[in-house]
A and B are shown apart, each in its own frame.
Chain A
Amino acid sequence: MKGLAKYKGHAGSLILRILVILCTLISIAVLAWLLIFILYKGLPNFNLGLFEWKYTSKNNSMMPAIINTVTITVCALLVSIPLGVGSAIYLTEYSKRGSKLVKVIRMTTETLSGIPSIVYGLFGFLMFNETLGLGYSLLSGILTVALMVQPTIMRTSEEAILSVPDLYREGSFGLGAGRLRTVFRIVLPSAMPGIAAGVVLATGRIVGETAALIFTSGTSSNMAGLMESGRTLAVHMYTLWNEGLDMEPAYATGVVLLVLVVLINAASSALAKRLAVKK
């Protein structure tokens, strides 16, 4: 063993090396255990009834939940993308570096990204359901999760915008374009892959969200309009557990969520790779 000879008289180093490899193996084993377990429990429980258009307590269909998930995700992104990207544009292109306002904005965004989803849920309930009188509705859930993912979109957009070389901006100004034109024609298109990766990340968070939605968009099993209560896939899974009647449809829902997350992650890393290649 040539490799081991290197460690003669360095037993401590050998032990460290083994420890590091062992810990990584454990981490990977945990992930594998989780994936295999969810698939193993979930896959046998799939049947066509789970995808019927209407939910009944007999078929436990997740179709309405899938549609609600799409509605909430799309609408929340429609709210949070302008907010997040707009703030990033202000911070990078308009504000003076080191101004007080910028510091405050950074501090509050950091605070927002550290707040747990259950606190967003309580806030959304107090603010949108009660004070604004929206009641349990998709709209109030949408506004809550939009606020929740806004910091994510803002941070990734800011990074992407900062990575656009100043040369581009100077070129654009030199050709006589104003600041606004430069931002929308030059900066944003070059920063697009980075912004998109952030948006995809936010999508993943919304799809998996439970605690912030239970008390805002509620747990009704119907396919909901904006002003009606409806549950997303993750909330559907929680409600099935909470009712405690049968767990089989919950396992199947877990598989669907898992597949969604895998797809979302793949999309995000593909976008990030495109950005890296460009650089």
Chain B
Amino acid sequence: MSSSAVKERIMRIVFLIVACVSILAVALICLFLFRSGFAAMGQIGVLDFLFGESWRPGSNEYGIFPMILGSIYVTAGAIVFGVPLGLMTAIFMARFCPDKLHRKLKPAIDLLAGIPSIVYGFFGLMSIVPLMQDIFGGSGKSMLTASILLGIMILPTIVSVSESNIRAVPESYYEGALALGATHERAVFCAVVPAAKSGILAAIVLGIGRAIGETMAVIMVAGNQTAMPSSILNGVRTMTANIVLEMGYATGLHREALFATGMVLFVFILIINLALSCVRRKGKKK
């Protein structure tokens, strides 16, 4: 074998190994999180951990049910604020906006996506929280505040994914609708957007994934009380916040319980990923 053939072979193997790093990474993440997570759950009791309503590390009570609900509520709130706004913006950018304006809008949306979450957190703390104080009284740090901020944060994801999917709808749908006498708006909303349904759904699922995993912005505006969430104007603690807030000083079982919280969050993300790939596959089949 010539030396160049040997080199080819070696490099092929090198590329193969490099490509397998992502498999290794997922395997390791699963291994480490599940190992310490299950260890903690074994000691606390799976049901007491997942459905326990009080989190008092001082007296050995580790129930993360309030945090699970907190994460779900806050994410749902983000969807309520972010999706209608984002979808409408995407429709505008794909179908209503002149090219010249589009060249200005697109970088603006990209910028919104690039701003670090800690900066969003400060923004929320200094502008939305006081606003909430003025309107509703109280501390201003609440489920509602967190939902609004998260809604803003998922906006760029919703806009850019929906926009590219709306643009991918064949022009004939739009033209067909026009030929049947529909107005521009009607053609867009009744023919083009429904055809992009699965892509828009994928955008929403991506947004859910982003919102549920968001950490730094949420801890600054959500209030972080461990009580069961009772109203949208009360403070709430998400799973992500629970980890960051207590990791610094936790030891022993307390620390393990935080890893287990991370594991539950990870399982949520895996389910969301699964849903995403189902949505995408369905979209492709059509």
Contact = CB atoms under 8 A, between A and B. Distances in A.
Asked whether A and B interact, the reply is: yes
Interface of A: 6-7, 10, 12-14, 16-17, 19-24, 26-28, 30-31, 33-34, 37-38, 41, 82-83, 86-87, 89-91, 94-95, 104-105, 107-112, 114-120, 122-123, 126-127, 131, 147, 150-151, 154, 178-180, 204, 207-211, 214-215, 234, 237-238, 241, 250-251, 254, 257-258, 261-262, 264-266, 268-269
Contacts of B20: 105
Most chain A CB inside 10 Å of its own CB: which residue of B18, B84, B91, B112:
B18
A83 B23 CA distance: 12
Interface string B116-137: 1111111101110000000000
Interface string B194-238: 000000000000000110111110001000000000000000000
Given A38-B123, A214-B244, 4 more contacts: A20-B88, A116-B214, A254-B122, A261-B115
Main secondary structure of the interface of A (DSSP, over half): helix
B122 A241 contact: yes
Contacts of A28: 105, 108
B122 A250 contact: yes
Interface in B11-58: 11-12, 14-16, 18-23, 25-26, 28-29, 32-33, 36
A24 B159 CA distance: 10
B116 A207 contact: yes
A21 B89 CA distance: 8
Contacts of A215: 247
B276 interface: yes
Contact of A262 (B111, B215, B273): B111
Contacts of B28: 123, 127
Given A94-B16, A117-B213, A87 B21 contact: yes
A90 B93 CA distance: 36
Interface of B: 4, 7-8, 11-12, 14-16, 18-23, 25-26, 28-29, 32-33, 36, 84-86, 88-89, 91-93, 96-97, 105, 107-112, 114-123, 125-127, 152, 155, 159, 183-186, 189, 209-210, 212-216, 220, 240, 243-244, 247, 258-259, 262, 265-266, 269-270, 272-273, 276-277
Given A108-B26, A269-B110, A23 B84 contact: yes
Given A208-B117, A265-B114, A114 B209 contact: yes
Nearest to A251: B122
Contact of A23 (B92, B114, B119): B92
Contacts of B183: 6-7, 10, 13
Contact of A118 (B84, B115, B215): B215
A150 B272 CA distance: 21
Contacts of A238: 118, 216
Contact of A16 (B11, B33, B185): B185
A38 B216 contact: no
B215 A117 contact: yes
22 contacts: A13-B183, A13-B185, A23-B85, A26-B85, A27-B89, A27-B155, A30-B112, A87-B15, A108-B22, A112-B25, A117-B213, A119-B262, A122-B258, A122-B262, A127-B28, A178-B4, A204-B114, A208-B119, A210-B117, A234-B216, A241-B121, A241-B122
B115 A119 contact: no
B85 A261 contact: no
B32 A108 contact: no
A26 B258 CA distance: 38
A136 to B, nearest CB: 11
A88 to B, nearest CB: 8
Contacts of A250: 122
The 6 tightest CB contacts between A and B, nearest first, are: A116-B213, A208-B116, A23-B88, A86-B18, A13-B185, A90-B19
Contacts of A89: 15
A27 B86 contact: yes
A162 B53 CA distance: 51
A114 B208 CA distance: 11
Contacts of B272: 114
A112 B26 contact: yes
Contacts of A109: 22
Contacts of B22: 87, 105, 108-109, 112, 150-151, 154
Contact of B32 (A17, A82, A90, A127): A127
A240 to B, nearest CB: 10
Contacts of A207: 116
B77 to A, nearest CB: 16
B21 A83 contact: yes
A31 B184 contact: no
Contacts of A151: 22
A243 to B, nearest CB: 12
